[in-house]
Amino acid sequence: MKTSSALALSAAMIIAACSAGTTSNAAPADTAKLDASGDQPATPLAEAPFAVQEIASFNEPWAMTFLPGGRQALVTEKSGKLKFWQESGPALDVAGVPAVAYGGQGGFGDVILAPDFATSGTIYLSWVEAGDGGTFGAVVGKAKFVSGGAPRLDGLQIIWKQDPKVTGRGHFSHRLAFSPDGKYLFIGSGERQKFDPAQDMKANLGKILRLNPDGSVPADNPFASQGGVTAQIWSLGHRNILGLAFDGTGKLWNQEMGPKGGDEVNLVEVKANYGYPIVSNGDHYDGKDIPDHPTRPEFAAPKLWWNPSVSPGGLAWYNGDVYPGWKNSLLMGALSGEGLIRMAIDGDTLHKSDRWDFGQRIREVEVREDGTVWLLTDGSDGKLLKLTPKG
């Protein structure tokens, strides 16, 4: 027994040494060149400053948020369940959740805590509801989360809807984030795979929206005087926003799944137009060309982009000390890219700092209060993963 495990160990060391050897020429990466291009080669997990620990399983998990203290979390499952995960106990179904229109890319979406969660227990949720004539649209609601052995939602109230509802079940986006001052709710609203709504000021599709916590429109929104859903608009020309994150200086970043070869991370600025579907560094999946960003400098260009596509899932700001050199970074999951991407924040710019090959579709990225990073993998046997720092 002793001999065979020693052999297995030395074989593992040889494999690790070989995989390190094959990538050593590429590292350290020429980040300036990578940052300006669509490229970003992946590094084997063996070289990461963390080990991957499997914690729990979920059915098509989509989003999660830790509760204060980090020993409990809420996890949405796309088909319509909200799970109350506990570090030392079973994951329980939360009662009182809305009925969701499950299918395609739709179902349960995001879950975040209200800024005053500690006193109010309020959470915000997004999901898809059906409309007339085979149409669908995302909605956002708030409710009080009541913890304990029979967790439930009380007083669920819808505060926002995608308008108009359209056919198809793609590009809902429905990602949520509160500004660090707790005053404003930002919603990523996808263009519903219909292209032009991203430039249509009469639709709240293909936009990032800014609302008061009760769903009303702040008086100082850039298009507030125009009324209707136009008043909700903060930025436009987005495609499928699957991650929103504020950094420590209050800057809002978004990632979005672009067309083929056009996935983006943007610095979200008020009134900016990010150009979709008029410009993209990618092209339509049917092969039709979309002029690249540099041809139309009036549209805000991405800070980073990826070709081939990585299909982003989740976005989180990291400012901990658990993993060396990660302070002030953005972390982004990759679905088709099957990994985790780290981008160092450098003022108003980003660098392609790391990309690890997990061999699994990463849907969600969360940072716990203790500085550890947790991920959700995609699919019917989705896993909650903890990235345990290596000694």
Binding site for Ca ion (CB under 5 A): 63, 65, 283, 290, 292
Query: Pick the catalytic residue: 171, 174, 238, 351?
Result: 171
- Tell the smallest beta-carbon distance from residue 314 to Ca ion (Å): 7
- Tell the smallest beta-carbon distance from residue 310 to Ca ion (Å): 17
CB nearer to Ca ion: give 204 or 280.
280
| Integer Cα distance of 189 and 139 in angstroms | 10
- Tell the smallest beta-carbon distance from residue 155 to Ca ion (Å): 22
First-to-final CA distance of the chain: 27
Asked if residue 107 lies in contact with residue 101, where contact means CB atoms within 8 angstroms, the answer is yes
Pairing between β-strand 339-346 and β-strand 329-334 as defined by DSSP bridges: antiparallel
How distant, in Å, are the alpha carbons of 17, 191, 282, 315 from that of 71? 36, 36, 41, 21
CB nearer to Ca ion: give 42 or 259.
259
Cis peptide before 68 (omega within 30 of 0): no
CB nearer to Ca ion: give 65 or 235.
65
| Integer Cα distance of 251 and 73 in angstroms | 26
Asked if residue 315 lies in contact with residue 255, where contact means CB atoms within 8 angstroms, the answer is yes
- Tell the smallest beta-carbon distance from residue 95 to Ca ion (Å): 22
- Tell the smallest beta-carbon distance from residue 370 to Ca ion (Å): 16
Distance, C-alpha 121 to centroid of its chain? 23
Residue ranges of the alpha helices (H) in 114-236? 117-120
The b/e string for 69-84 (b: 16+ C-beta within 10 A; e otherwise) is ebebbbbbbbebbbbb
CB nearer to Ca ion: give 165 or 363.
363
Known active-site residue 293: no
CB nearer to Ca ion: give 164 or 291.
291
- Tell the smallest beta-carbon distance from residue 130 to Ca ion (Å): 25
Q: Is 78 left (phi over 0), alpha (psi -120 to 50) or beta?
A: alpha
Asked if residue 384 lies in contact with residue 55, where contact means CB atoms within 8 angstroms, the answer is yes
CB nearer to Ca ion: give 73 or 217.
73
Active site residues: 171
